[in-house]
Homo-oligomer: A and B are copies of this chain.
Amino acid sequence: MSRYLALRRAMLPTTVVDLAEQVAAAGYKVTGPRLAVLRAIAACAESSFSVHELEQWVQARGESPGVASIFRTVRLLCTLNLVERIHGIEDCHRYCLTNERHGHHLMCTQCGALERFNNCGMQPAIRHLERQTGFQITAHLVGLFGLCPNCVRAGAPSLPGRT
């Protein structure tokens, strides 16, 4: 572990340390701006986030990273499979921390709250379609959308909403 990271480890929540260690392990430097973005992302660990939201988060704390670096960091984390893009009904501009296993998302269209799940039950349909169409299927995308329990209670309209 680098001195810089070691120095900060005690004062950082676990998710940030995890992310930082994986960034370092992949041979990338753990810089101040990058750490700030990791902190912002870790703050959304249980939910989803857009680059714009990360930008507001770091700016609200008076931190340095410019938009370019935030985009760069998100892109880096995507290439490291630590973060992934969420495909919404209307937009595809939100991200979330990657589920460890083969994972999919269930997102609240109102507040962005996120649940993950693994068993999408699509394997039989995929195999059937491969036989039927002759396609070689290499990837699948599954997203569920609706209202989280909180937004149901608050009487939020069910669609359209933030996706």
- Give residues in A with beta carbon < 8 Å to B: 87, 89, 91-92, 106, 108-109, 115, 117, 119-122, 124-126, 129, 133-149, 152, 158-159
Contact = CB atoms under 8 A, between A and B. Distances in A.
Q: List the 5 closest pairs (A to B, CB-CB), nearest first.
A: A134-B149, A137-B146, A141-B143, A92-B92, A139-B145
A146 B139 CA distance: 6
A155 to B, nearest CB: 11
A142 B119 CA distance: 14
Q: How many copies does the complex hold?
A: 2
A144 B129 contact: yes
Contacts of A134: 148-149, 152
A47 B12 CA distance: 50
A138 B122 contact: no
Given A89-B139, A92-B92, A138-B146, 10 more contacts: A87-B143, A115-B129, A119-B125, A133-B148, A135-B147, A139-B146, A140-B145, A141-B141, A141-B143, A142-B143
A145 B142 CA distance: 11
A144 B149 contact: no
29 contacts: A87-B87, A106-B129, A108-B135, A115-B133, A115-B135, A117-B125, A120-B122, A120-B125, A121-B124, A121-B125, A126-B144, A129-B144, A133-B148, A133-B149, A134-B148, A134-B149, A135-B147, A135-B149, A136-B147, A137-B144, A138-B145, A138-B146, A139-B146, A140-B143, A141-B141, A141-B142, A141-B143, A141-B145, A142-B142
